[in-house]
Amino acid sequence: MAPNTSALLEEPPNEGPPASLPAFQAPELDLSELTPVELLHESEDSRVVQARWKEKDCVLKIVSCKFFSILPFLTRHSATTLNEVPESESIMRLIHTCVKARLTVG
Amino acid sequence: MKAYGLCEKGHIPGFYGVIENIDLKTMGWETYLEVFEGEPELPNAVVIEFIPDLRPFDLSHYTAERADQLQATMSEIHGLGVEHGDVHQRNAKVHEETNRAIWIDFDRAIICPLDLTTEGQKKDWRRAMANEEERLLDALVNLVSLSHFWFNVRGLPLL
């Protein structure tokens, strides 16, 4: 009996998380809801500030639009990756990885 | 990563939200924002968990369990199609109070490129990216582990 070749050509069942992140709508906050505590770190294009938000300690990383200049670095894996979307959207995609804050305490 | 619960596991900082187009005159924040005056666009921000008393993942804070945790977390991050982009000892931290090993500073992180449309392309990208970072991470863990062995087990000073 001939093997079922079509079954061999099919993609294996999807296991674990998907190959890319799902759309995620990051909560939008209002700066007036936060109370600054102290400046933790500063660089040419950012400020990292400890703050209070809803009775929680938090860290706020404020990023200058000059930060956009690092975008070419981000395209090293694909020449067209981020060039095809508006800059602000590219930044927001990065932000959505929930990682933009540089926590330099300790 | 937030959507997949990585923040809640406690091995990356919790994510609270973003603030776009920050008003530089926001009451109480003026002194922190004055540096952004004169720029063509208003700054943005992210708000994340503040984790006090973070220690470096170095030989004085090394345990095999923490090393395993750092590697496991990085594997999970890669599994979601995210590259940390700055796998370095300075970004591997330890919170002794809760015995957590934590990755911080995702400034250079990138997600799976938008122009990869097929699952096969995405998997290839993810595999290549993960290999690159996991090689760096292996080197880091081995270095700290070896330092820990020589210093604490053999009692010899580091070279």
CA A100 to chain centre: 6
Tell me the backbone φ, ψ of residue A93, rounded to 5 degrees: -65, -40
A19 contacts B43? CB cut-off 8 A = no
Q: What is the Cα gyration radius of chain B? A: 19
* Residue of B102, B99, B110, B154 lying closest to B132 (CA atoms): B110
Residues whose CB is less than 8 angstroms from the CB of residue B72 and which lie 6 or more positions away in sequence, other chains included: B11
DSSP characters for A11-42? PPPP-SS-SSPPP--PPB--GGGEEEEEEEEE
**How would you class B34 by CB atoms within 10 Å of its CB: exposed for 0-12, middle for 13-18, buried for 19 or more?**
exposed
Residues of B in contact with A16 (CB under 8 A): 79
Mark yes or no for CB contact A106/B32 under 8 Å.
Answer: no
Closest CA to A65 of B37, B69, B125: B37
**How much is the pLDDT for A82?**
37
Backbone angles phi, psi at B70, to 5 degrees: -60, -40
Which residues of chain B does A100 touch, with a Cβ-Cβ cutoff of 8 Å? 46, 48, 106-107
Asked if B33 has any chain A CB less than 8 Å from its own CB, the reply is yes
The single residue listed with the structure tokens 């009996």 is A1
- What pLDDT, on a 0 to 100 scale, did the predictor assign at position B85? 83
- Collapsed DSSP state (helix, strand, coil) of residue A56: strand
The pLDDT of residue A11 is above 50: no
What confidence tens digit (pLDDT) does each residue in B122-137 have?
677 667 766 777 777 7
Sign for the CA dihedral angle at A7, A13, A19, A21 comes to positive
Most confident of A90-94, B95-99, B112-116, B122-126: B95-99
Contacts of A31 in chain B (CB under 8 A): 19, 22-23, 26, 29, 45
Best of A103, A104, A105 to substitute, by most chain B Cβ atoms within 10 angstroms, is A103
Q: How far apart are CA B17 and CA B52, in angstroms?
A: 19
- Which stretches does DSSP call E strand in B106-157? 110-111
What residues of B are in contact with residue A95 (Cβ under 8 Å)?
A: 18, 44, 46
Flag whether the pTM goes above 0.80.
no
Give me the pLDDT at residue B116, please. 58
pLDDT of residue B5: 83
How many angstroms separate the CA of residue A87 from the nearest CA in chain B? 12
DSSP letters spanning B7-44: HHHTSS--EEEEE-S--TT-TT-HHHHGGGTT-SS--E
What percent of chain B clears pLDDT 90, i.e. is strictly above it? 38
Cα separation, A95 vs A81, whole angstroms = 16
Residue with tokens 């400020």: A47
Q: Is the pLDDT of residue A10 over 50?
A: no
In whole numbers, what is the pLDDT of chain B averaged over residues?
A: 83
Say what the pLDDT of residue A12 is.
Answer: 43
**Cross-chain Cβ contact A78/B17 below 8 Å:** no
pLDDT value of residue B149:
66
**pLDDT tens per residue across span B33-66:** 999 998 888 999 999 999 999 999 988 888 889 9
